[in-house]
């Protein structure tokens, strides 16, 4: 099941993406990451994207958004794992 991504995770992921590299470099890095971690997903999404017959700019924007979504989902899953591991967010005091 996919994690529910919190707003703070989205903001942090986007800020991190902007701070570390140019957006086209970020998109390229994320496409490589998705290709390595989940090649069938990326290939399927690219096939579907191609079917929309978008211009180059719209295709690049869409790929950036795909990368951001993948990054947000992974970041939230990692945060959830850490919270579970260290017991953050548990309110057993009540």
Q: What confidence tens digit (pLDDT) does each residue in 7-23 have?
A: 999 999 999 999 988 99
Query: Across the chain, what does the average pLDDT equal?
Result: 92
In this structure, are residues 56 and 93 in contact, taking their beta carbons and an 8 Å threshold?
no
Q: What pLDDT was estimated at residue 94? A: 40
Instruction: List the one residue out of 52, 58, 56, 65 whose CA is nearest residue 23.
Output: 65
The model carries a pTM of 0.85
Report d(CA 6, CA 14) in Å as an integer: 13
What is the four-CA torsion angle of 43, 45, 46, 52, rounded to 10 degrees? 150
Report d(CA 92, CA 94) in Å as an integer: 6
Q: What pLDDT was estimated at residue 87? A: 81
Q: Which residues of the chain are modeled with pLDDT < 50?
A: 92-94
């Amino acid at each position: 099941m996919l994690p529910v991504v919190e707003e703070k995770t989205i903001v942090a992921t986007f800020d991190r993406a902007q701070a570390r590299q140019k957006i086209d470099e970020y998109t390229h890095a994320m496409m490589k990451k998705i290709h390595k971690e989940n090649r069938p997903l990326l290939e399927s999404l690219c096939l579907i994207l191609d079917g929309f017959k978008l211009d180059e700019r719209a295709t690049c924007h869409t790929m950036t958004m795909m990368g951001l979504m993948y990054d947000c989902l992974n970041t939230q899953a990692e945060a959830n794992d850490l919270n579970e591991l260290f017991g953050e967010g548990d309110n057993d005091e009540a």
